[in-house]
Amino acid sequence: MSGIRPTGFLHLGSYFGAVRNYVRMQEEFDCYFMVADLHSLTTHPDTKELKANVHRVLSENIACGLNPEKVALYCQSHIHETAELYLYLNMLAYKGELEKTTTFKDKARLQPDNINAGLLTYPVLQTADILLHRASYVPVGKDQEQHLEMARNFANRFNHRYGEIFPEPVAYNYGDDLVKVPSLDGAGKMSKSENQLATLYLSDGDELIRKKVMKAKTDSGPTEPNSPKPDYIENIFLLMKLVSEEAVIRKFEADYDGCTIRYGDMKKQLAEDMVRFISPIREKAEAILNNPGYLKEVMELGAEKARKSARATMELVREAVGLNYF
Ligand code: TRP
């Protein structure tokens, strides 16, 4: 089980860091992937863009290979049982531990005029998402580790008080280090918020992709054979490893080691390989986005699957809590 923030616009980092994992997991596990639209209300009370963002994030995830027939792909707000489980879990969550959460402190600092209770109990809602399906594996990045630790605490507290209902959820990846996708300006990872020109979005047109790649920082090249690579050059090689063929990478490695590398040519090659990688995803996502009837079907099918699992869990939960009066 995992939640996807409906902030729109996936980029290459979200693809290699998250979506590719989901696509692998769908072949092996019984998966629930949810658009976290309720969570977004804690920071984005203005919902004018919400619908478009939800449609986009669904379209892009499907275009990347997530199969709505294989997994339950649904919207959080469509599963009302989530709100009920969230309420029970709120009675097991302490103000002190919620206030200590890093993401809460960060967001409170960013929106001092709207430190709402939903923001404080964000990890409780996330726990409800997970426990609703009694999920064991949660594919998330490092930034979600603390939330998952809290989810384990809440699950254990529930189990101790009311009986063993929930497995302990743990973060999941395929054992390989989470792939870090460097940004094109050599400063950190590709991410949604920072320098737009340094991030390749899966919605970028071919010309924009070329333009962004050609702008990547380089220098006049190594002067000594087999020199170590500066970070920004290493990054270009890292990006190439994601989308280019083995032989192409070997050629540029050899050129680098022999001091004959031409970065202009390397970037042209990378740009074309990026276009080849991104454009089919972009086109597929656009086609889905232009088909609201299909999106509705996807959401209905997903909600149906998620509700089935949610209802079964909530029967057990109400019984365990003692809300069975006849
Ligand atoms: N908090 C997660 C994020 O910011 C999104 C999320 C919501 C989530 N519910 C979840 C992740 C349940 C894993 C499981 O990315």
Tokens (6 digits) for 205? 């047109």
- In this predicted structure, the answer to whether residue 181 has a pLDDT above a threshold of 70 is yes
pLDDT digits (tens, 9 = 90+) for 95-126: 999 999 999 999 999 999 999 999 999 999 99
- In this predicted structure, the answer to whether residue 213 has a pLDDT above a threshold of 70 is yes
- In this predicted structure, the answer to whether residue 177 has a pLDDT above a threshold of 70 is no
Answer yes or no: 51 catalytic: no
What's the whole-number average pLDDT of the chain? 95
Closest atom, ligand 1, to C-alpha of 126: 9
CATH number at residue 259: 1.10.240.10
Tokens 């996708």 sit on residue = 181
Compute the distance between CA of residue 146 and CA of residue 128 in angstroms, rounded to an integer.
Answer: 15
Residue 125 Cα, ligand 1 centroid: separation in angstroms? Answer: 9
Q: In what order do the strands lie in the sheet with 2-4?
A: 2-4, 32-35, 72-75
- The confidence score (pLDDT) of residue 191 equals 74
- DSSP letter for 34, please: E
- In this predicted structure, the answer to whether residue 190 has a pLDDT above a threshold of 90 is no
Residue with CA closest to ligand 1 atom 3 = 5
255: domain range?
Answer: 204-285
Residues 246 and 165 in one domain: no
- In this predicted structure, the answer to whether residue 155 has a pLDDT above a threshold of 80 is yes
Q: Which of 7, 35, 140 to mutate to test the pocket of ligand 1 (most atoms within 8 A of CB)?
A: 140
Residue 223 Cα, ligand 1 centroid: separation in angstroms? Answer: 47
Strand partners, 72: 32
Residue 3 Cα, ligand 1 centroid: separation in angstroms? Answer: 4
Question: 153: which residues sit within 8 A by CB, 6+ positions away?
Answer: 97
Q: Which residues line ligand 1 (CB under 6 A)?
A: 1-3, 5, 36, 39, 126, 129-130, 138, 140, 144, 147
Compute the distance between CA of residue 218 and CA of residue 309 in angstroms, rounded to an integer.
Answer: 52
Residue with CA closest to ligand 1 atom 8 = 3
Q: Are 149 and 127 in contact (CB under 8 A)?
A: no
Residues 301 and 279 in one domain: no
Residue with CA closest to ligand 1 atom 13 = 2
pTM of the model: 0.95
- The confidence score (pLDDT) of residue 193 equals 55
Could you tell me what percent of the chain has a pLDDT over 70? 98
In a domain, 91, yes or no: yes
Query: Bigger pLDDT: 188 or 60?
Result: 60
Residues 147 and 272 in one domain: no
Residues 161 and 227 in one domain: no
Q: One of 189, 229, 251, 284 is an active-site residue; which one?
A: 189
Tokens (6 digits) for 263? 């970065």
Residues 98 and 67 in one domain: yes
Tokens (6 digits) for 52? 């478009």
In a domain, 281, yes or no: yes
Q: One of 51, 105, 142, 192 is an active-site residue; which one?
A: 192
Residue with CA closest to ligand 1 atom 10 = 3
pLDDT digits (tens, 9 = 90+) for 225-276: 999 999 999 999 999 999 999 999 999 999 999 999 999 999 999 999 999 9
Residue with CA closest to ligand 1 atom 14 = 2
Given pLDDT bands bounded at 50, 70 and 90, which one contains residue 175?
confident
- The confidence score (pLDDT) of residue 189 equals 84
Given pLDDT bands bounded at 50, 70 and 90, which one contains residue 188?
confident
- The confidence score (pLDDT) of residue 104 equals 98
pLDDT digits (tens, 9 = 90+) for 35-86: 999 999 999 999 999 999 999 999 999 999 999 999 999 999 999 999 999 9
Tokens 């300006």 sit on residue = 185
In a domain, 40, yes or no: yes
Q: One of 51, 100, 107, 296 is an active-site residue; which one?
A: 107
Closest atom, ligand 1, to C-alpha of 36: 7
Residues 62 and 79 in one domain: yes
- In this predicted structure, the answer to whether residue 88 has a pLDDT above a threshold of 90 is yes
In a domain, 41, yes or no: yes
Query: Bigger pLDDT: 38 or 179?
Result: 38
Residues 232 and 124 in one domain: no
281-294 mean pLDDT: 98
Answer yes or no: 217 catalytic: no
Compute the distance between CA of residue 125 and CA of residue 82 in angstroms, rounded to an integer.
Answer: 8
- In this predicted structure, the answer to whether residue 195 has a pLDDT above a threshold of 90 is no
- The confidence score (pLDDT) of residue 146 equals 97
Residues 168 and 247 in one domain: no
Answer yes or no: 212 catalytic: no
Given pLDDT bands bounded at 50, 70 and 90, which one contains residue 196?
confident
